[in-house]
Chains A and B, each alone.
Chain A
Amino acid sequence: MSAPKGKLKVYLGYAAGVGKTYRMLEEAQEMRQKGVDIVIGYFEPHGRKETIAKTEGIEVVPRRVLTYAGSPFEEMDTDAVLRRKPAVALVDEFAHTNVPGAERVKRWQDVHAIVEAGIDVLTTMNVQHLESLNDQVFHATGIRVRETVPDWVVDEADELVFVDLTPRALRNRLERGVVYAQEKARRAMENFFTESNLTALREMALRHTAHEVEERLDAEAAAGLAESPDEAPGDLQPVRRPERILICLTGRPSSAVLIRRGKRVADYIHAECLAVHVGDVSHDSEAVERHMSFARNLRIETHVLPNGDVPDSVASFARARGVTQIFIGRSAPLPWWKRYRESIVQRLVRQARDMQITIVAERRR
């Protein structure tokens, strides 16, 4: 018998300084005034006066200090939050990676533990930390974001709020030194916080929030239908063969792009998602294993097929599992004197003519 889970609410922005934490604290103050037992589990002040002022009167659970490589690092004291057991805890920077030595690798895992214990959590994150958008973010901004959160973690949040600010207003804030100290702000504006980067990220955040809203509507509709099958409206979608996507993994670095892309399409069209690797894991096994575990983290079911002819094995596995779409990366280009040979992609295309095959581009900048 465990307590019911707490609720998770995510304030989503598209860059530092748009006001996520401020918005979260505003709501916290409203709750506190209504008498809700609320604490700060973790708050990152960034020296922003207006934001710091908004924490006034809210109890803070002290952070814990961890020593790593001889230097002290402060992290959220998750155990202390659990012991304090408030109704609501505020936890800034959902995508943060904890210092080695902490119980959990990621802050979102700490948040999970808190939510599991029946405590509601308010948290903040930026859209570029979503795993599924990693390639798009890289393509638009040239920055490869390393701290990512798997999409399912955000999908499972009870509420998502988009915190908007126009890029112009954000750049004004930077100029006025509200977000960072002057020198850092100037560098930021030349690099990441350019108008085109910010606009591209903002569009991603808007589209992603819309997607999350729609997903929740779909889930609600499905739940409602399951409860009252008699009231099923007549204009439901016709019954289609369920979509199933199979991703062909290799040890090549482009497999990460392939996994994210396949999973993203699967999520949007509500398809099941599988991943497969053919062959000998010993050959570049470390890279393959890394991709497999990356796929599993995104909740993709993974399989290894015995060494054999790749197109043959993939096509027959796909048929046996009722796969409707195969996702594969482009083959490495062959030198011209070998061009008479068919690539794996070409052979798969030829052998699985009864299936849809998607050849995923690397999307280099």
Chain B
Amino acid sequence: MPTADNCRPNPEELLRKVQADERRESRGRLKVFLGYVSRVGKSYRMFDEGRRRKERGQDVVVGALQAGVTPEISQILKCLDVIPTISARHAGRDYEVMDMSALFRRHPAVCLIDGLAYDNPPGSRNPHRWQDVSELLDRGIAVISAVNLQHIAEQQDAVERITGKRAANSIPEAFLSEADEIEVVDAPPDALIDRTAVNAIPDSRKLAELRELALLLAADVVDRQLQEYLDAHGVAARWGAQERILVCLTPRSNAAEMLRSGQRNKLRFHGALLAAYVEQPELPPRDRELLDKNLALARDMGAEVHALKGIDFVDAILSFAREQRITQLFLGHTGRPNRAWLARGPIDRLIDAAESFDIRLFPHGSAS
């Protein structure tokens, strides 16, 4: 399997990586249970894991509970130490704030914290509970927590489009992505509807949409973790589970059709859409204009546009495609017969070299 050239990190990058690793070494581990809606059972799963760890001899405490503890959870809580939260009242609202100094003093191995997206009242040590969690981690305490999709800041627009509602409090997606482990708590919508009083949760179609969103979010986080793992272990980037489409733009290719198709594929596969062109120093003004138009179109259609440098078009595209773990390469016919005696055109050469991605050739069409 070919490896990308020039992938050796520079000294600063290495130093940063070493420091990050050191920080991670002494830091507590964070595990988050992710649910797509409330009542899916993520708190239960979290406390159940706490119970099992305690049975295996780990020092487990509960740092925060959520209102409305179910009978199953109270059953588990009987065998766990709970560090009571501090009740506070602010502007007519009741709050439950984690007792950070008690937790620091107690310094458990593992702390269970429900309601990761909880907001503390003004004047607290930290405005948000996830920041409290971060402090516990910094002190070497492992945290197991649970959060719902509607509380991930970057997902809130999408959730609102589905449910028409927006949760007031949220955590940054980066906090979730940096967790050492996330576990998805999945259940079919119908099971939830049976389990809950009617009207308390969205209808089954909305639930299915939320469920899909949560699964894809988790897949993206897992994908990043996989790439990090492979990088850290010196394994070359490889063909992943996600479809990654690269549209090759040239001045005279049928960019609109390729990009439209690329966009459709991106949506259907929940993949990534990239577009790239190889810089040419002496492009005639007319071609420059056409290329710029194509690039603008690519950006409009949500493609990530890259300018590639290289003497040879084919080599530049190939190494970029490998580095980016491309699974489909979109390429247009040039519109002129490309074959001279014994000469292999760029398309032939790309086909010969493409071992890890498909090449889709598009008709020339009537690109202007």
Contacts and interface: CB of A to CB of B under 8 A. Distances in A.
Interface of A: 9, 136, 139-140, 159-166, 168-169, 195-196, 199-200, 202-204, 206-207, 209-211, 213-214, 216-217, 220, 261, 268-270, 325, 330, 333, 339-340, 342, 345-346, 349-350, 353-365
Nearest to A162: B186
A217 B268 contact: no
Given A159-B188, A340-B341, A196 B233 contact: yes
Given A164-B184, A207-B242, A213-B212, A340 B342 contact: yes
B231 to A, nearest CB: 11
Contact of B239 (A136, A217, A342, A359): A136
A261 B358 contact: yes
B177 interface: no
Interface of B: 1, 31, 180-188, 190, 205, 208-209, 211-212, 215-216, 218-219, 222-223, 225-226, 229-230, 233, 235, 238-242, 261, 264-265, 268-270, 328, 333, 337, 339, 341-342, 344, 347-348, 351-352, 354-364
A357 B361 contact: yes
B264 to A, nearest CB: 7
9 contacts: A196-B226, A196-B230, A207-B219, A210-B215, A213-B212, A220-B205, A325-B360, A353-B333, A354-B363
Contacts of A268: 265, 268-269
B223 A203 contact: yes
B180 A363 contact: no
Contacts of B187: 161
A203 B240 contact: yes
Contacts of B268: 268-270
Nearest to B228: A199
Contacts of A213: 208, 211-212, 215
B212 A358 contact: no
A168 B269 CA distance: 28
B329 to A, nearest CB: 9
Contacts of A345: 351
A166 B358 contact: no
Given A140-B241, A356-B363, A199 B222 contact: yes
Contacts of A164: 183-186, 218
Nearest to B204: A220
Contacts, number: 149
B229 A196 contact: yes
Q: Is the interface of B mostly helix, strand, loop or mixed?
A: mixed
Contacts of B240: 140, 200, 203
Contacts of A357: 360-361
Instruction: Report the 3 A-B pairs with minimum CB-CB distance, sorted nearest first.
Output: A210-B215, A206-B219, A166-B181
A209 B215 contact: yes
A339 B241 contact: no
A134 to B, nearest CB: 13
Contacts of A160: 188
B350 to A, nearest CB: 9
A361 B226 contact: no
Contacts of B188: 9, 159-161
Nearest to A324: B261
Given A207-B242, A364-B1, 11 more contacts: A136-B239, A140-B239, A161-B186, A162-B186, A199-B222, A199-B226, A268-B265, A345-B351, A349-B361, A350-B337, A361-B354
A26 B226 CA distance: 31
Contacts of A359: 351, 354, 358-361
B356 A269 contact: no
Given A356-B360, A359-B359, A166 B183 contact: yes
A328 B96 CA distance: 62
A355 B347 CA distance: 16
Contacts of A270: 268
Interface centre among A160, A164, A169 (most CB of B within 10 A): A164
B226 to A, nearest CB: 4
A206 B184 contact: yes
A204 B337 CA distance: 41
Contacts of B269: 268
A204 B342 contact: no
Contacts of B222: 199, 202-203, 206
Name, among A199, A269, A342, the residue most crowded by chain B CB atoms within 10 Å (CB to CB). Answer: A199
A164 B219 CA distance: 12
Nearest to B338: A350
B192 to A, nearest CB: 12
A203 B183 contact: no
Contact of B219 (A203, A269, A342): A203
B181 A195 contact: no
A172 to B, nearest CB: 10
